[in-house]
Amino acid sequence: MSPLLSVRGITKSFRGLRAVDDVGFDVEPGTVMGVIGPNGAGKSTLFASVSGGLRVDAGTVALDGTDITRWPDHRVARAGLVRTFQLMRPFGTMTVLDNVAVAAASRTADTGRAYERAHEVIERVGLERYRDQASAELPTAGLKRLELARALATSPRVLMLDEVLAGLVPSEREPVVDLLAELRDGGLTMVFVEHVMTAVMRLSDHVLVLDRGRVIAHGTPAEVVEDPRVVEAYLGERPDADG
Ligand SMILES: Nc1ncnc2c1ncn2[C@@H]1O[C@H](COP(=O)(O)OP(=O)(O)OP(=O)(O)O)[C@@H](O)[C@H]1O
């Protein structure tokens, strides 16, 4: 099987600091890759470099064989590589339904169809009871689901999740992880950056471990947690206490 997402030699520096240094990986269709690493390892930079939010210094990103390197993020999203944001940015005064319908409208010019898709996705992520509320009124867990719903409404080929569990208390995390597991089981290809190790272990087919901008390990969750380089990178820093 050829990879759906293929990343090679990504390098990105900020004023001489190599935040991401020659990073590459493949993601096969229908698989989930977790990205972990200590604070400052380069996870967010890699994420933005792949999804089009940052212009890379070197390297290539290919989506199903199409070179999308340096495409602007809206064009990357239209091609099917869609990211969520850690700081959610819904249109606050709009209802949940309208917010999701706007996202769905990026895929269809038919407003009726966009609303149909929005209803489906809202049900999928369990937001029915908030459907007609202004998005700004949602609790954090609801905003996370809304962010997921907006991404799913665009029918992504690859969904990239940026710390979707951040800001949630442990009891709120589990249902979100269950939802992600359902999406995975439904065949959705995902790449996610996450500090909560239990979620990484449960959801990932393979895990990419970064430290100081470089890949220090790449394997199954069981392989990477046993890897001495990973243990060393995390010394002095405890992965999320609940993880
Ligand atoms: N816009 C920027 N300007 C300057 N330096 C930056 C910028 N973004 C990131 N960096 C630096 O690049 C390095 C990697 O940062 P990055 O945010 O990618 O790491 P991270 O693994 O996502 O960290 P965390 O887990 O804390 O979110 C850090 O040293 C950071 O200070």
Nearest atom in ligand 1 to 45's CA = 18
Q: What is the mean pLDDT of residues 46-60?
A: 94
Nearest atom in ligand 1 to 48's CA = 18
124 alpha carbon – ligand 1 mean position (Å): 33
Residue 201 tokens, joined: 């272990």
* ipTM value > 0.90: yes
Q: Given this model, what pLDDT does residue 237 score?
A: 59
In this model, does residue 238 exceed pLDDT 70?
no
43 alpha carbon – ligand 1 mean position (Å): 8
Angstrom CA distances, 196 to 8, 32, 135, 168, stand at 27, 15, 26, 11
Shortest-distance Cα residue to atom 13 of ligand 1: 19
Q: Given this model, what pLDDT does residue 243 score?
A: 44
In testing the pocket of ligand 1, which one of 10, 13, 17 has its CB within 8 Å of the most ligand atoms? Answer: 17
**Contact yes or no for 60/9 (Cβ under 8 A):** yes
pLDDT-based confidence at residue 201 (cuts at 50, 70, 90): very high
**Ligand 1 pocket member 19 (CB < 6 A):** yes
For residue 97, the Cα-to-chain-centroid distance in whole angstroms is 22
Q: What is the mean pLDDT of residues 218-240?
A: 83
**Ligand 1 pocket member 32 (CB < 6 A):** no
Mean per-residue pLDDT over the chain, rounded:
91
Q: How many CB atoms lie within 10 A of CB 57?
A: 14
HSE-CB at 79 with a 13 A cutoff on CA atoms is 21
pLDDT-based confidence at residue 241 (cuts at 50, 70, 90): very low
Q: What is the mean pLDDT of residues 72-95?
A: 82
Helix residue ranges per DSSP H, 3-136? 43-51, 73-79, 96-104, 111-124
The percentage of the chain sitting over the pLDDT mark of 90, rounded to a whole number, equals 74
